Chain A
């Protein structure tokens, strides 16, 4: 089946820093979504981005579907950005959502 790999697995930054999170997938997909899971377990939809680039405030994402990767950019990090960031892809074969293992981000004040 399709493999979804996220890097880095862990990232510790000072407040104000910028970061880039990566998601690689091993096969063509219908769509790709980025989520942020806060310390209480709530998953928040950040971007629905099967291809192209989107921006929402300090966050932006780019998916290059032909090269099978997506990047999530966080600028001017804040402590509230801490948590785990997941990418999830919908397979073309059976429309199931396959998740990466996540990047755990800690922003220190």
Chain B
């Protein structure tokens, strides 16, 4: 059974550009959540999608957005990149949505560097 797949694994962008990250959950999982990990702020919740609907959103500016497709694959987009957006972006999949005892399984992450 394939795990959670995130692409790309590494990428370098410059300030002002935008980036799209992709996450394919474990087969059969319909919940996908995204997290940002930085040395200064640690792990922070970005948003959660379940059955193509955003269920939950963390405290991030509107430059951070996401969506989920009918096959449960999810993308997150960051527009007008800032230096502080440099981070490891982690995607997790779960059989059940949050609030319903959903155990999380993580991908290897996408490491974004903004120059």
Contact = CB atoms under 8 A, between A and B. Distances in A.
Interface of A: 30-31, 33, 35, 40-45, 48, 50, 86, 88, 90, 94-102
Interface stretch (B16-24, B73-81, B100-108): B100-108
A95 B98 contact: yes
Contact of B98 (A45, A50, A90, A100): A90
Contacts of A95: 55-56, 97-99
Contacts, number: 54
B106 A43 contact: yes
A25 to B, nearest CB: 15
Contact of A86 (B43, B56, B108): B43
Contacts of B28: none
B81 to A, nearest CB: 20
Nearest to B33: A97
A99 B36 CA distance: 11
Given A90-B98, A96-B58, A97-B104, 10 more contacts: A33-B104, A41-B90, A41-B108, A42-B106, A42-B109, A43-B90, A50-B101, A96-B45, A97-B45, A101-B42
A101 B38 CA distance: 11
Shortest beta-carbon contacts, A-B, top 3: A95-B98, A95-B99, A99-B43
SS class, residues of chain B in contact with chain A? strand
Contact of A33 (B37, B88, B103): B103
B44 interface: yes
A96 B108 contact: no
A40 B111 CA distance: 11
B44 A99 contact: yes
B99 A88 contact: no
B109 A45 contact: no
A48 B103 contact: yes
Contact of B88 (A41, A44, A100): A41
A96 to B, nearest CB: 5
B106 A45 contact: yes
28 contacts: A30-B99, A31-B101, A33-B104, A35-B106, A40-B108, A41-B88, A41-B90, A42-B108, A43-B90, A43-B92, A45-B103, A45-B104, A45-B105, A48-B103, A50-B101, A86-B43, A88-B43, A90-B98, A94-B56, A95-B55, A95-B98, A95-B99, A96-B98, A97-B35, A97-B98, A98-B45, A99-B43, A100-B42
